[in-house]
Amino acid sequence: MFWLAMKFVCPQNQLTGAIALASRAVAARPDRPALAGVLLVADLEAQTLALTGFNLEVGIHLTVAAAVKESGELVLPAKLFGDIVSRLPESDVTVTVREVTAVLACGSSRYEIQGLPAAEFEDLPVVDAQETLYLPVEKLLEGLRASLFAAATDETKQVLRGVRVTASAERLELAATDGHRLAVVEMALVEPGAEAPVAMANLEATIPVRTLRELERMLMPLPEVAVAVQCDRAQVTFASGDRRLTSRLLDGAYPNYRQLLPAQFEREVTLERKQLVAALERVAILADRKNNIVKLTIDAIAQEVKLSVEAPDLANGSETLTVQASGESIDIAFNVRYLLDGLKVMDAAEVQLRLNGAVQPAVLQPLGSTKMSYLIMPVQIRS
């Protein structure tokens, strides 16, 4: 058997960033050594170094410019390789590979790391798609921020551990629920009156939360305005700039969440968001020590909402907020953490709480450009 040699030179900070990004898709406790590695492929002709991490669910592939002297490929243990490179002086790092040993040289530092042949690295799955959908990065990030938090974290919750993404060239919709609350974000991708773009692929898939968190991290620092999405029945890829994220999809029918959102409301309360968050965070100190329940006493006459929590034998507390309230006065209770989770991702100055009865679903909406509906179920209280 004959291993190609490999040699490249790359600035320390660039190599550090690239290893860190690829390592995000490397398994923490893999069942074979190659899965703990990052695949390096140096291309003499293109003068690039490609790095890949793949934990069999999510794969991250990226390319950086490098002064390549000899093409080649090798798998290096991701953690050790990253730890060493990240602590080297800010200077050029020369990596020379012979057989499966990589020698890192930088200033008067010299490290030899044992690697594995590239053949042992699991190939990233290929997505079988003819068409590509281009999504604006800014809108996608905004939508992810407003939906991801509501998905289930419990491993047993199947499709609920994903976000339902429905997208076309004109429209992006994201929905997430853990069975207790539901966040739905709707976004127009075409300015009203503007010409619709050339027909592109549609997307309708349930994408794992973990994948989408990596997508946020991958897109956030990029200057690119669009991300290219390709999807088949089992896999999705997101490509932007020199980076590509591949992930399996969640299988199974996603709940028909549209029918859960009430069409009409008997009561509406408009609240100043930051003030509400601060007040809820204070009563949450007590609620966290009991059952997480905060009671809202909505007084439509006084135009006030009183938030109160009782933890008998320990403490009780209340916060009074001035609001605009329509409809009749009502007492209603919620899980304070669910309220806070939703309020924190809204970036509007004001929010609207829309209610029917004390045991019927309520909806929180930011008053602003993002069209987001956050449905939460009240908790029954004994009066």
Site map for a copy of itself, 311-350, x if CB under 8 A? Answer: --xxxxxxxxx-----------------------------
Judged by CB under 8 A, the residue of 119, 225, 278, 302 near a copy of itself is 278
The answer to whether 92 touches 12, Cβ cutoff 8 Å, is yes
262 binds a copy of itself (CB under 8 A): no
Minimum distance of a copy of itself from residue 322's CB (angstroms): 8
Q: Which range in 46-54, 217-225, 259-267, 277-285 contacts a copy of itself by CB under 8 A?
A: 277-285
117 binds a copy of itself (CB under 8 A): no
> Cα dist. 41→36, 63, 113 in Å?
16, 9, 16
Judged by CB under 8 A, the residue of 10, 64, 78, 113 near a copy of itself is 113
Q: Which range in 85-93, 142-150, 181-189, 261-269 contacts a copy of itself by CB under 8 A?
A: 85-93
33 binds a copy of itself (CB under 8 A): no
Which tokens is 350 given?
Answer: 């004001």
88 binds a copy of itself (CB under 8 A): yes
* 150 contacts: CB under 8 Å, gap ≥ 6: 176, 177, 178, 181, 182, 183, 341, 342, 374
Amino acid at 305: V
| Coarse DSSP helix, strand, coil percentages of the chain, rounded to the nearest 5 percent | 25, 45, 35
Q: Which range in 14-22, 111-119, 233-241, 341-349 contacts a copy of itself by CB under 8 A?
A: 111-119
Site for a copy of itself in 286-305 (CB under 8 A): 286, 289
Minimum distance of a copy of itself from residue 140's CB (angstroms): 34
Minimum distance of a copy of itself from residue 323's CB (angstroms): 12
Q: Which residues pair with 271 in a beta bridge?
A: 351
282 binds a copy of itself (CB under 8 A): yes
- DSSP secondary structure letters along 48-73: EEEEEEE-SSEEEEEEEE-EEEE-EE
130 binds a copy of itself (CB under 8 A): no
Nearer to a copy of itself, 108 or 369 (CB): 108
The answer to whether 97 touches 115, Cβ cutoff 8 Å, is yes
72: left (phi over 0), alpha (psi -120 to 50) or beta: left
Minimum distance of a copy of itself from residue 252's CB (angstroms): 42
Minimum distance of a copy of itself from residue 313's CB (angstroms): 6
110 binds a copy of itself (CB under 8 A): yes
109 binds a copy of itself (CB under 8 A): yes
For the beta carbon of residue 360, count every other beta carbon within 10 angstroms: 13
d(CA 42, CA 40): 7
96: left (phi over 0), alpha (psi -120 to 50) or beta: beta
Minimum distance of a copy of itself from residue 103's CB (angstroms): 10
- DSSP secondary structure letters along 284-344: HHHHTTTTSEEEEEEETTTTEEEEEEEETTTEEEEEEEE-EEES--EEEEEEHHHHHHHHH
Minimum distance of a copy of itself from residue 314's CB (angstroms): 6
Map tokens 């790391």 to a residue.
Answer: 113
Q: Which residues bind a copy of itself (CB under 8 A)?
A: 77, 80, 83-84, 87-89, 108-114, 278-279, 281-282, 285-286, 289, 313-321
